[in-house]
Every structure is written in structure tokens, then in C-alpha cells.
Amino acid sequence: MSRWIKIPGGKALVAINQQGDVVGYGCRRPAVFTPASHRIGPLYADSYVVAADLLQQLTRDVIGHRILIVVM
């Protein structure tokens, strides 16, 4: 995980609830083999609302590129 956080051009976020518990996290990084694309993954969220917010925040500054969500 620490390698994904440090990738140039990437972004990593953590969602924390009011009690201070981690309720989600996600990483975005440039796709190496797919030009003009970014990959999202890992992405963890304990609810759809948290997942949607993380996706929005991870992609808001990606303009004109494709977003690929890695599902495992």
C-alpha cells in the first residue's frame, strides 16, 4: 500500500467517521499500459455513500482521461 500512495501522479485518501474510525480508503494511480488512463484500487468502504464520496474525490481532478476501477 505504501508504494501506491507514493506513485507520482497518484492520489490516496482515507475516510474517517466522527468517532475516528477508518471507514474507507482508496488509491488512484496513472495506468502504465493504458495511455491517458488512471486506475483506482484498492478501494474499501463500509457503505455505498462512503464509496461514492471516495470515488468522487479520487477522480475530481482527472480531466480528459479514462478511469479504470480495479476489481479483485
pLDDT of residue 45: 97
For residue 64, what are the domain limits?
A: 2-26+35-69
Q: Is the pLDDT reported for residue 11 higher than 80?
A: yes
Is 3 exposed, middle or buried (CB count within 10 Å of its CB: 0-12, 13-18, 19+)?
Answer: exposed
User: Whose grid coordinates read 457503505?
Assistant: 47
pLDDT of residue 22: 97
Cα dihedral sign for 64, 47, 11, 38? negative
DSSP element (H, E) containing 57? helix 48-59
pLDDT of residue 67: 93
Q: CB–CB of 62/28 below 8 Å?
A: yes
Q: Is the pLDDT reported for residue 6 higher than 70?
A: yes
**Tens digits of residue pLDDT in 31-67:** 988 889 999 989 999 999 999 999 999 999 999 999 9
- Structural domain count, the chain: 1
Distance CA 15, CA 51 (A): 9
20/8: higher pLDDT: 20
